[in-house]
Amino acid sequence: MKSLLSGNEAVARGAWEAGCIVATAYPGTPSTEILENISKYPEINSEWSVNEKVALEVAAGASFAGARALVAMKHVGLNVAADPFFTMGYSGVTGGLVIVSADDPGMWSSQNEQDNRHYGRHAKVPVLEPADSNEAKIFTRIGFEISEKYDTPVLLRLTTRICHSSCLVDLGQRKETDIKGYVKDMKKRLVLPAHARVLHTIVEERLKKIAAYSELFRYNKIERGDKTLGIITSGVSYQYAKEVFPDASFLKLSLTYPLPEKSIRKFAKQVRRIIVVEEGDPILETEIKAMGIRVTGKEKIPLCGELTTRVLRDSFFKVRKSRKKEGRIPPRPPVLCPGCPHRGFFYIVNKLKLVATGDIGCYTLGALPPLNAMDTCVCMGASVTNAQGLEKALGKDFSKKLVAVLGDSTFFHSGITGLVNAVYNKGNLNLIILDNFTTAMTGHQPHPGTGKLARGEQGKRIPPEEIARGCGVELVRVVNPNDLKATEEAIKEALAYDGVAVLIFRRPCALLVKPRTPYRIDPELCNGCRLCLHIGCPAISLISPRGREKPLAVVDEALCVGCGLCVQLCQRDAIVLTEKSDA
């Protein structure tokens, strides 16, 4: 049977068919739907972990027990999980361990476009690169098989166009696997220097064996075509290359670390010239050049940005100039939703002209005009620690104008350690947790602050305010961010306070609550002062009615969810509830 699946759905299906028993992840675009789909299978014990390091370590523990385990994350998540990733490279596995990294070329939803194939080489872990959903499913199963056969974790490397593209996938049935059971093996799992020295030599031998396997691996395959041009490629780049060079000979690589050197040499002898088509860094190209084979690659194909058929065609052929009407069309960046509970806080930050170290989530959109209320965004949790560093360099007075801002899910991910650090090191941190009861940006996954688990059942709820108090913070306030006066007062109290203060602005994500009666603006009372536009609500705009000099503000009643933030700004009481309130 065939079904249309996205790459992420296909990985989930592949894990299920392969008898995977434990799955973990932290949400991150473009990887999120992997665990969302896995958690629908009752046979797999799945969880949203608090961060990627935790997720990988839990999966590693399951592997110690002899169970097949999968862990999924976005590319930068593997930076967080790098520590256990490298050690697992030495330690190897008992139950198969597949680590899924979803890279984001083009940075559709990320702070960089790091090419995580480097991690395979760096940690000496084999890398599989599917070119579509069907391969994503098959390679998930093969990943477990390689993992167990060669006693190694396997990195399944996806990209946005694999994760979020759909194609027809052949569905199979689940093949149950046995949990081998836990057997103590200190030389393998207690990675002390003495053990690690032995393990390292084993790892190098293992890589040679996998390289030999790579020569015979049926998905590293030659497609015979025109002998004057050979294309060596992997992943989604294969699809683009097939359209740009339909007649060429192809060596399509799927196990891209370690590389099948003999197969590459054989292919090189069959064709007159070779182009290496790869998105991101010249990883295949560098390795193949090191074999002494002449190839064309990144001197033609861009290093930066997403590869597409057009970009590839443009690299080798004269193509007609793009008819893209750039510059003439106003951009439409994403915005905080109407009724977003983060909006009030950012309005006050802007009003008080504070420096705000920021973090990663929906609330990063608070950096955009007209709110302009965020100064930095480095990585998950860095809001907390960047603020502490600013204070260390510039002194306590600077912290009177400084707030660190992160969301509830990010706080659990990696904000807590920074908070402990600030309390311990006598900082004057003003930590703001924008608590909307969900991981909103990635599509509303639960986290410890919600108490809900991946499969919907109730777990233990851990309120951030209790964590803050437990860390020794004495000034902890929970505030409603839709109340601008209370919001401003709480921020001022925190700024004036000596020591670490934690403010939790708590209000559920606007997409998770039923809209309330919308507001409208009375055109007789509105004088066009534009104060209500300062909150950057997409439901409020200006119109120019006939016979009036100044444009007036109007509320789009279809978008307004009745949060009432704008009402608190209007000096003329022009913003009133619509008639629906009478019903």
Residues that bind another protein (CB under 8 A): 2, 4, 29-30, 32, 108-109, 132, 160-161, 164-168, 236, 238-240, 242-243, 246-247, 308-310, 313, 320, 322-325, 328-337, 362, 365, 368-370, 441-443, 533, 536, 538, 540-542, 551, 558
Q: How far is the CB of 140 from another protein (least distance, A)?
A: 19
Distance CA 415, CA 80 (A): 13
Residue in 479, 449, 485 with CA at minimum distance from that of residue 467: 449
Q: Which residue number, 239 or 286, has a Cβ lying nearer to another protein?
A: 239
63 phi/psi in degrees, rounded to 5: -65, -40
Residue type, 94: T
| Distances, alpha carbon 291 to alpha carbons 235, 272, 279, 284, 288, in Å | 22, 17, 21, 11, 5
Q: Chain-centre distance of CA 247, in angstroms? A: 37
Nearer to another protein, 193 or 331 (CB): 331
Instruction: Tell me how far, at minimum, the Cβ of 227 lies from another protein, in Å.
Output: 18
**What is the C-alpha separation between 134 and 236, in angstroms, rounded?**
12
Least distance from C-beta 345 to another protein, angstroms? 17
Min separation Cβ 260 and another protein, Å: 23
In the numeric block, which tokens belong to residue 361? Answer: 């989530």
Q: Is the peptide bond before 30 cis (omega within 30 degrees of 0)?
A: yes
Place of tokens 């600013």: 390
Give the nearest distance from C-beta 553 to another protein in angstroms: 10
Considering the complex, state which of residue 338 and residue 562 has its C-beta at the smaller distance from another protein: 338
How far apart, in Å, are the Cα atoms of 342 and each of 36, 38, 193, 432, 501? 26, 31, 48, 11, 19
Q: What would the two tokens of residue 71 be?
A: 């862990």
- Nearer Cβ to another protein (389/443): 443
DSSP single-letter state for residue 4: E
Which residues are 542's β-sheet partners? 553
The C-alpha atoms of residue 452 and residue 462 are separated, in whole angstroms, by 10
**CB closer to another protein, 292 vs 333:** 333
Residue 124 vs 507, nearer CB to another protein: 507
Nearer to another protein, 106 or 463 (CB): 106
Rg, Å, the chain Cα set? 27
Min separation Cβ 9 and another protein, Å: 12
Closer of 393 and 558 to another protein (Cβ): 558
b/e map 106-140, b = 16+ CB within 10 Å? beebbeebbbbbebbbebbbbbbbbbbbbbbbbbb
Of 152 and 160, CB closest to another protein: 160
| Minimum CB distance to another protein, residue 480 (Å) | 22
Q: In the complex with another protein, which residue's Cβ is closer, 161 or 507?
A: 161
The tokens for 169 are: 């996938």
CB of 130 to another protein, least distance (A): 12
Structure-block tokens of residue 62: 């399951």
In angstroms, what is the minimal distance from the CB of 534 to another protein? 9
CB of 370 to another protein, least distance (A): 6
